[in-house]
Structure 1
Amino acid sequence: MTLTKLRDEAVQFIQANHTDTPYYICSPQQARAMRSVAPWQSAQKPQLAAIEDKYIPVRDGAQIPVRIYTPVVGKKLPVIVFYHGGGWVYGNLDSVDAGCQLLADKAQAIVVSVDYRLAPEYPFPIPLYDAYDSLLWVQEQLEALGGDATKITIAGDSAGGNLATVVTYLAATLNGPAIHAQALIYPVVHVDFSTASYTAYGENYGLDKQGMEWFAHHYTDEQNFTNPFISPLLIEDASVFPKTMIIAADADVLYDEGQAYAQKLTQAGVAVEHITMHGLIHSYFSKMTYFEEATIDTVEKIAQFLK
């Protein structure tokens, strides 16, 4: 495998974040504390009609936070349910706030960003249940939100992309809400650390192989790694998926599994657009200090795909 030439901002990000104490030798709680996100300030920041935080109920009686981005009021809009990344262990509404603002603006859609509960305190299947229950809540609230029931898209990045595609599958197979499309940004789709992209990019490219192993073991027990609701590449009937966009960073351990997923869905008759973002690393999305341009580009591609 020929290594990709990184963009300057990716090199700067890697250098700035290099540390002798990577998150995966810390506790999840320490790792979360290392990951705070400054609010996005930029001339590129859109003017939305509303951004609202609220709590919604899930199946075990808990309440989880969501953030609702409304670009304009007074007309029925498509809805995008978005799940943030962070290896199922960290990440929150703030970590994808910039990306969700842009998505609401560029796609002219109501974006509902979901703060599902995190492992290891809430291991599999709780984050997945929270993710699915939040979709059901959105369906119930469509009228109040101003959403169009025929235009619900499920989206997410990394571990959020994993939840997104499993939620889409569950909606199709449990007679849930009709999903118009799924948009997956470098999703985790196969918990298997042996691909060529793991070998090539497993160290010093933003998401290390050791880091991904750390995330997966916090999310669930090793014997579950082949469960299709954890590794959706192993779902038997992929024909139930709606049209799909997969956006990949080429210098990413997850590149190969994303490509394999695109091929599997295509072979099952699903309309798939697989886009490679050259010179970029895992987790660039919504890290605006370094990757504002790439994040805007990604959102514009998704918005175009959903038209």
Structure 2
Amino acid sequence: MPLDPQTQEWLTALEEKTQGRELCDLPVEQARVAFDRLGASSGLPPVEIADISDRTVPGPAGEIPVRVYTPEGTGPFPVLVYFPGGGFVVGTPDSTHGPCTVWAKQIGAVVVSVNYRKGPEDPFPAAVDDAIAVTRWVAGNAAEIGADPARVAVGGDSAGGNLATDVAIDARDNDGPSLAAQVLIYPATDISKAYPSLHENGTGYFISKNLLRWFGANYRADPLDWRASPMLLDDLSGLAPAFVVTAEYDPLRDQGEAYAQRLAEAGVDVQARRYDGQIHAFVANLAGVTGQGKTAVNDIGEYLSGVLGTD
């Protein structure tokens, strides 16, 4: 279907404001600030919940900053460990702040948003190691944040979706926590090859081929390592149930949908949903300007309420 009119209006305004410059045209620190500002200006507005606190948890290379969102009510609550996207270079809990408050309230869950290490300062696999460490800490220390260790889900968008897949695979293979679900929002699942959607949607839809190359150059992952390309794993059976979100005009559309198909073929309980007329980032960063983004945030909340037993 045609590009969503609200999304097209946003893209036109962005083009005028930036004069065609992309995040990859900025120094890394400026790109990080710009991306967080995008989430604040175009993302879903935050809603009021019981508590929002920043803290750290132990990691493999020092303390890892996280933001903990606590809903109203009496715990222990289920918990969603969330990994914000941004190509493993940009993106922090600030860039996905609004949706995390909405999910905490809608699901009645603690949400732990992770500010994992990023390239170029901390290249692959630092982000993966941090994601695994935080999830294991949450499951092992759930009472400290009012959470229920028997009801843990992971989720993330884009690069964060990749990290959620990695955490789910590690949990299966290395005696990790039993996960209730993995929510993969337009996830990066295979950087070993170019899928058709990369060429179809690689210019003009916010996330470009140039930007993806810049992310890759800074993250410096081995494309054939399963942590960078979980699609390459032979066995995807026994993983946590998955909700996979893709967008029609997204360069990553095909690899996200192919991964959902692989999961289903492996016997994993999968719900896959493509949002037509939408672009990459429409859920986590742009839901304040597009109705479809709000719908997707709500759909994710409804799915998690079901699997976490709060609906």
Q: Same fold (TM over 0.5)?
A: yes
Residue 16 of structure 1 aligns with which residue?
13
Counterpart of 2:297 in 1: which secondary structure? helix
The one-letter amino acid paired with 1:152 is V
Aligned-residue identity in percent = 33
Change (3 A) 1:141 1:271: same
Pairing 1:249–2:247 present: yes
Pairing 1:142–2:139 present: no
Q: Which runs of 5+ in 1 are unaligned?
A: none
Pairing 1:56–2:57 present: yes
Change (3 A) 1:42 1:202: closer
Change (3 A) 1:252 1:121: same
Superposed CA deviations along residues 57-83 of structure 1, whole A, max 9, x for unmatched, are: 2122x1121111111242221110000
Range with bigger deviation, 192-201 or 123-132:
192-201
Superposed CA deviations along residues 266-296 of structure 1, whole A, max 9, x for unmatched, are: 0000011000111110012233575353333
Residue 309 of structure 2 aligns with which residue?
none
The one-letter amino acid paired with 2:12 is Q
Change (3 A) 1:146 1:30: closer
The one-letter amino acid paired with 1:13 is W
Q: Aligned Cα RMSD in Å?
A: 2.0
What is the CA–CA distance in structure 1 between the aligned matches of 2:236 and 2:14, rounded to whole Å?
Answer: 38
Once the two structures are TM-superposed, the CA of residue 214 in structure 1 deviates from its matched residue by: 1.4
Residue 184 of structure 1 aligns with which residue?
184
Range with bigger deviation, 253-262 or 23-32:
23-32
Residue 201 of structure 1 aligns with which residue?
201
Counterpart of 2:124 in 1: which secondary structure? coil
Change (3 A) 1:143 1:274: same
Residue 152 of structure 2 aligns with which residue?
152
Aligned length: 301
Q: Which runs of 5+ in 2 are unaligned?
A: 307-311
TM-score, normalising length: structure 2: 0.91
- Of the three residues 231, 234, 254, the one matched with 1:233 is 231
Matches within 5 A, 1:156-167: 156-167=156-167
Change (3 A) 1:269 1:257: same
* Conservation of the 8 A alpha-carbon contact between 1:285 and 1:291: no
What is the CA–CA distance in structure 1 between the aligned matches of 2:171 and 2:243, rounded to whole Å?
Answer: 18
Superposed CA deviations along residues 140-173 of structure 1, whole A, max 9, x for unmatched, are: 2211222122211000000000011101110111
What is the CA–CA distance in structure 2 between the aligned matches of 1:42 and 1:92, rounded to whole Å?
Answer: 13
Residue 101 of structure 2 aligns with which residue?
101
Counterpart of 2:243 in 1: which secondary structure? strand
Counterpart of 2:57 in 1: which secondary structure? strand
* Conservation of the 8 A alpha-carbon contact between 1:187 and 1:258: yes
Once the two structures are TM-superposed, the CA of residue 30 in structure 1 deviates from its matched residue by: 3.2
Pairing 1:219–2:219 present: yes
What is the CA–CA distance in structure 2 between the aligned matches of 1:152 and 1:32, rounded to whole Å?
Answer: 29
Once the two structures are TM-superposed, the CA of residue 46 in structure 1 deviates from its matched residue by: 2.8
What is the CA–CA distance in structure 2 between the aligned matches of 1:291 and 1:183, rounded to whole Å?
Answer: 22
Superposed CA deviations along residues 36-72 of structure 1, whole A, max 9, x for unmatched, are: 4274799974321111111222122x11211111112
The one-letter amino acid paired with 1:153 is A
Once the two structures are TM-superposed, the CA of residue 264 in structure 1 deviates from its matched residue by: 0.4
What is the CA–CA distance in structure 1 between the aligned matches of 2:124 and 2:290, rounded to whole Å?
Answer: 32
* Conservation of the 8 A alpha-carbon contact between 1:99 and 1:295: no
What is the CA–CA distance in structure 1 between the aligned matches of 2:289 and 2:70, rounded to whole Å?
Answer: 24
Superposed CA deviations along residues 224-282 of structure 1, whole A, max 9, x for unmatched, are: 11211101111221002111000111110001001100110000000110001111100
Residue 261 of structure 2 aligns with which residue?
263
